[in-house]
Amino acid sequence: METRVVRACGDPGADREVMKEAAGIIKAGGLVAIPTETVYGLAGDALNPSSSKKIYEAKGRPSDNPLIVHIAKLKDMERIAEDIPGTAYKLAEKYWPGPLTMILKKKEIVPYETTGGLDTVAVRFPVNMIAREFIEASGGFIAAPSANRSGRPSCTTAKHCLEDLDGKVDMIIDGGEVGIGLESTIIDLTGGRPCILRQGYINEEMLRDALGDVETEAPETEHPKAPGMKYRHYAPKGIMKIVQGEGSHVEEKIIEMVSEHLSREEKVAVISSHEKYQEYLDNFRDRSSVSVYDIGSTEDEDLIAHRLFAILREIDDTGAGYIYSESFDTPRLGKAIMDRLYRAAGHNIIYSD
């Protein structure tokens, strides 16, 4: 299959031809990668079991890992979910359209192929205009997991999608770089208390604001309610470690570890805050086997979230066998950022003091 990359801009008039073509692909059971405000999605018709099967195949994703169904009208939630609790409407009012996914009881119309065999369905109403035009044009119900191959960092540009999905999807809609760069927050509304299953841009405090009472699933639960959380995610090819500790102990430890690798002529990468970046450069001047990435200032957590996945991909391209990252435990997005980093590192943490 040839994968076509086409541009869209989010203006319904200008995008009309692209959307017509993309919708034709979806209605015929094909796949299209699309931008959203979180990360790029790998889209198929959520109500067509064979489309969902194709998504799993294209991603190389285990079929017990359910897909998120994207809608473009609040009312459409009621066509795919039943016994919808008041909490869902409260959250929708505050945070939809936006980067929040709600787990609800599914209606029969949603095939088990889409929900990974579960009686619940994950529903999201994205804010990105290109995504919304596309969902509307394609019949209103789009299954779209992140567009990366299973286990790889999520895609934040159309180029990343092409790296992972060339020949596996009919079309990639290039809407430029995504805004947020981390996947949606997932909240389960099917139990007693609303429970956060995956951290994201809509953080705990914002959810508490809307609902009052919210619990969080422990990060290393053995049988997580969001089945995807049990898989190793975002895994770079090298061995990755996260260094934690107070102040300058962190860079001292990282410099010490990197120096050991260099003495063995091994390739290393460092993910650095902007504040410590120059210090690594000064230490490893003229050492071509060290790549240091400035992920942004710890004062700018949106930038850190935005750059994280792209940096993990770039590191793979350098062929680094070892990767050291600082910890970015920032106030608003720290939990979401660290969740991705811990998974990327397979929970490999070094304490520097």
Q: Residues in the site for ligand AMP, rule: CB under 6 A? A: 65-66, 68, 103, 115, 118, 120-122, 145-146, 183, 186, 197, 225-229
Residue 114 contacts which entry, Mg ion, ligand AMP, none (Cβ below 5-8 A, type-dependent): none
CB atoms within 10 A of CB 221: 12
Local structure of 90: helix, strand or coil = helix
The residue among 66 and 296 lying less far from ligand AMP, judged by its C-beta, is 66
Rounded Cα–Cα distance for residues 238 and 344 (Å): 10
List C-alpha distances in Å: 324 to 84, 270, 315.
44, 5, 11
Instruction: Supply the minimum distance, in Å, between the C-beta of residue 259 and ligand AMP.
Output: 37
Instruction: Work out how close the CB of 213 gets to Mg ion at its nearest, in angstroms, rounded to a whole number.
Output: 28
Helix (H) / strand (E) element for 86: namely helix 86-95
The closest of 57, 56, 84 to 71, measured between CA atoms, is 84
CB of 300 to ligand AMP, least distance (A): 24
CB of 282 to Mg ion, least distance (A): 37
Nearer Cβ to Mg ion (146/352): 146
Element (H, E) at 348: none
Nearer to Mg ion, 165 or 210 (CB): 165
Q: Which does 229 bind (CB under 5 to 8 A by kind): Mg ion, ligand AMP, none?
A: ligand AMP
Question: Alpha carbon of 41 to those of 125, 169, 317, 320: distances in Å?
Answer: 13, 12, 22, 28
Q: Which is nearer to Mg ion, 276 or 307 (CB)?
A: 307
Interaction residues for Mg ion, span 142-161 (CB under 5 A): 146
Q: Which does 121 bind (CB under 5 to 8 A by kind): Mg ion, ligand AMP, none?
A: ligand AMP
CA angle centred on 307, ends 303 and 313, rounded to 5°? 175
- Tell the smallest beta-carbon distance from residue 318 to ligand AMP (Å): 25
* 61-73 residues labelled b (16+ CB within 10 A) or e (exposed): beeebbbbbbbbe
Write down the least CB distance from residue 65 to ligand AMP, Å.
5
Instruction: List, in order, residues 6 or more apart from 210 with CB less than 8 Å away.
Output: 90, 91, 94, 95
Query: Longest Cα pair distance anywhere in the chain, in angstroms?
Result: 63
Residue 226's binding partner among ligand AMP, Mg ion, none (Cβ under 5 to 8 angstroms by kind) is ligand AMP
Residue 233 CB, nearest approach to Mg ion (Å): 7
Nearer to ligand AMP, 116 or 292 (CB): 116
Angstrom distance (rounded) from CA 260 to CA 282 = 17
* Residue facing Mg ion at closest CB distance: 146
Residue whose CB is less far from Mg ion, 121 or 257: 121
Closest C-alpha to 98, from 203, 17, 171: 203
Alpha-carbon span 267 to 263, nearest angstrom:
10
CB-based closest residue to ligand AMP: 228
Residue 71 binds what, of Mg ion, ligand AMP, none (CB under 5 to 8 Å, by partner type)? Answer: none
Of 41 and 298, CB closest to Mg ion: 41
Binding partner of residue 227 among Mg ion, ligand AMP, none, CB cut-off 5 to 8 Å per kind: ligand AMP
Contact footprint for Mg ion (CB under 5 A): 146
